[in-house]
Structure 1
Amino acid sequence: MMGNLIKAEFRKTLSLKTWWVLLIPLALVAFWLTFAWGKITNDFADFLSSDSDARQVTRLIGLDPGSVPVGLLALAHGVNIAQLVPGLFGIFALAGEYRSKTITTTFLTAPNRISALTAKMLTYVAWGAIYGLVSFGVSAIAVMSSVDSGRWPSAGQWLAALGGTVLAAVLVTLFGIGFGAVLRNVPLAVVLFLVWFLIIENVLVILLWGQTTLLGGILPNGTANGIVGGIAADAFGFNSLNLPDDVNSGAQLLLQYTAAAPGVLSWWASALIFFAWTMAFFGLGWAGNQKRDIT
């Protein structure tokens, strides 16, 4: 029965244009943001290599400007912004069905609501993974197009970034499902989701940075960004768990921003905290949809 429900969910999503329409901005954002950041960081690494004073400073801290994997930093920026797209896709999963009134058919054709929601969750886990793979693929092409080959991520870093991108995309998709299910209003959910992730939380993190650097490491956007951004930060020793105590808060913000994850603790900590945020919203949406009237 579960297999049939999952097939029905896939048929439902494939019958709509949403899945491929959203792939277009995802690919464009992932590629061009990664490409732009790759050019910037690659040019900066060139400067460090050409300037004798800068070269001496970087070598004192154990970095060789000619082989620093700045491509990893660029990739983190690209996939972190692009992962908002699977979040939007997730919002349509339940909130969209309430808007189009198809939720009644979804629930009535399943043995119970738990089965219907479980099938939807598993289906969108697969969709999130697909979006993550596309995001990583186009970002990887952008890295190779904008960054000198000596500064590309190592084989292990490529694999870590791939795994982190897919994991983040899956979790953000599930977060979107829960967020949309709680609100049951697609326009409101989309606006609040984008405004919080793109503006409000970033403003809060920067404005309150002097008082605390923890917000970026515990709030939803920061922890979602901190999965892939944390992999980049870990590679450079920029995460909050490894930074020396004598690094001031301004330097910490600058360093961690280059990894697209201000306040990041570590990739694994970010993954666990964002998983908790995801389960909180998903659980609220799940619980609410067990009792809501669908007539």
Structure 2
Amino acid sequence: MTPQGTASKNGISHVLPPIGKTRLTWSGLLGSEWIKMRTRVSTYWLGGIGVIMMIAMAIASAIQGSNGDVSADSVMVMATGGVVGAQFCAMLLGVFTITNEYRTGQIRSTFNAVPKRLQSLAAKAAVAAIASFVVTAASIVVSLIIAHVLSGRGLAFGYFSPEGLRMLIGAPLYMAFIAVLSLMVGAILRKSAGAVSIVLLMFWALPGSMVILPPSISGIVAAFLPSTAGAALYGLSSGAGDQVFSAITPQSAFSLPVWGAFLVLVAYVALFAAIASVVTKRRDV
């Protein structure tokens, strides 16, 4: 037998850490959250649907505009146009990352392993953001190749202008923002249905309701909505007429610069993250 507080393996005794002294490192937290995410069936469904939507949009718009005279930046718009639909997959991914644990009661085990709850919340947000960014970036690369071929430009990719690079980075960044914002809403409400409803209200219902406001006001208000700010990150800035999906991409008479749109999205995430932090720390589970 070995003394209390020790363990024996192959005849060698090891001193065990005192109960309550073992803590996960930040890399361990990320690893555990990644295991949770990749073992959920919904993750693969949402990721697969998002990829299909991105590629399908690129194929449809490239075939429609296949005249051989399509500009390079317009091809990038074709490749990123699917973000309009795929963003709903990022919303659901962010919400389910936190609400599934509250639904199953797994959150108790999580907070027992990580008593500092905000560290767990931050790890969930980081994993959701990284997953959304990587999947979106990979989808855009595939969509870009397909759009190039189908639009008649072949495989001539020597066009990486600042505008094209902004769109290439801005779309995955916007999807990461959506995932984190949705996760924070889920952390506040703890219910999937309620969180999804609030996020849909912000990204879909509010932009559509701008028509009830006077034109002089609606343009300014719409520019500061998260969906419009996101479109400023990955949309073509040379004008609405060049947008392949201008009919469904949020438009505004008053437009924010790219850095302004980025700050607006950061402000939204910071606001909901602050509320989620307070709720997570104070509420029982």
Q: TM-score range by the shorter chain?
A: 0.7 to 0.9
Task: Tell me the equivalent position of 1:120.
Answer: 124
Aligned residue pairs total: 256
SS in 2 for 1:155: coil
Q: Relative to 1, partners in 2 of residues 1:225 and 1:153: Cα closer, same or farther, differing over 3 Å?
A: farther
Instruction: Answer whether contact 1:82 1:135 (CA < 8 A) is retained.
Output: no
Tell me how far apart the structure 2 counterparts of residues 146 and 291 of structure 1 sit (CA, whole Å): 54
Instruction: Answer whether contact 1:79 1:135 (CA < 8 A) is retained.
Output: no
* Matches for 1:101-250 after TM superposition, within 5 Å: 101-149=105-153, 154-156=159-161, 157-198=163-204, 200-208=205-213, 210-212=215-217, 213-229=219-235, 232-233=236-237, 236=238, 238=239
SS in 2 for 1:257: coil
Instruction: Answer whether contact 1:175 1:278 (CA < 8 A) is retained.
Output: yes
Task: Tell me the equivalent position of 1:18.
Answer: 42
Q: Which amino acid aligns with 1:89?
A: L
Tell me how far apart the structure 2 counterparts of residues 135 and 4 of structure 1 sit (CA, whole Å): 28
Q: CA deviation at 1:98?
A: 0.8
Please state if 1:265 is matched with 2:233: no
* Matches for 1:56-75 after TM superposition, within 5 Å: 67=71, 69-75=73-79
Please state if 1:290 is matched with 2:277: no
TM-score, normalization by structure 1: 0.76
Q: Deviations over 1:130-174 (max 9, x none)?
A: 232233234323422432318989213443222112211211111
The alignment yields a C-alpha RMSD, in angstroms, of 2.9
Tell me how far apart the structure 2 counterparts of residues 66 and 222 of structure 1 sit (CA, whole Å): 25
Tell me how far apart the structure 2 counterparts of residues 139 and 265 of structure 1 sit (CA, whole Å): 27
Q: CA deviation at 1:5?
A: 1.5
Q: Relative to 1, partners in 2 of residues 1:72 and 1:19: Cα closer, same or farther, differing over 3 Å?
A: same
Tell me how far apart the structure 1 counterparts of residues 158 and 177 of structure 2 sit (CA, whole Å): 24
* Larger proportion of helix: 1
Q: Deviations over 1:244-275 (max 9, x none)?
A: xxxxxxx89x9993693412423322121111
Task: Tell me the equivalent position of 1:62.
Answer: none
Q: Deviations over 1:12-34 (max 9, x none)?
A: 11221122111111012111223
Tell me how far apart the structure 2 counterparts of residues 256 and 31 of structure 1 sit (CA, whole Å): 14
Instruction: Answer whether contact 2:46 2:89 (CA < 8 A) is retained.
Output: yes
Tell me how far apart the structure 1 counterparts of residues 112 and 195 of structure 2 sit (CA, whole Å): 25
Q: CA deviation at 1:8?
A: 1.1
Tell me how far apart the structure 1 counterparts of residues 250 and 70 of structure 2 sit (CA, whole Å): 24
SS in 2 for 1:105: helix
Instruction: Answer whether contact 2:181 2:272 (CA < 8 A) is retained.
Output: yes
Q: Which amino acid aligns with 1:257?
A: S
Task: Tell me the equivalent position of 2:27.
Answer: 3
Tell me how far apart the structure 2 counterparts of residues 125 and 136 of structure 1 sit (CA, whole Å): 16
Q: Which amino acid aligns with 1:69?
A: D
Tell me how far apart the structure 1 counterparts of residues 152 and 247 of structure 2 sit (CA, whole Å): 18
Q: Relative to 1, partners in 2 of residues 1:110 and 1:207: Cα closer, same or farther, differing over 3 Å?
A: same
Structure 1 portions without partners, runs of 5+: 50-64, 240-250
Task: Tell me the equivalent position of 1:96.
Answer: 100
Identity of aligned residues (%): 20
Tell me how far apart the structure 1 counterparts of residues 191 and 29 of structure 2 sit (CA, whole Å): 24
Q: Which amino acid aligns with 1:277?
A: Y
Instruction: Answer whether contact 1:183 1:189 (CA < 8 A) is retained.
Output: yes
Which stretch has the larger CA shift, 8-17 or 115-124?
115-124
Instruction: Answer whether contact 1:201 1:221 (CA < 8 A) is retained.
Output: no
Structure 2 portions without partners, runs of 5+: 1-24
Which has the higher Rg, Structure 1 or Structure 2? 2
Tell me how far apart the structure 2 counterparts of residues 209 and 76 of structure 1 sit (CA, whole Å): 31
Q: Relative to 1, partners in 2 of residues 1:74 and 1:4: Cα closer, same or farther, differing over 3 Å?
A: same
Tell me how far apart the structure 2 counterparts of residues 169 and 176 of structure 1 sit (CA, whole Å): 11
Instruction: Answer whether contact 2:186 2:192 (CA < 8 A) is retained.
Output: yes
Instruction: Answer whether contact 2:62 2:147 (CA < 8 A) is retained.
Output: yes
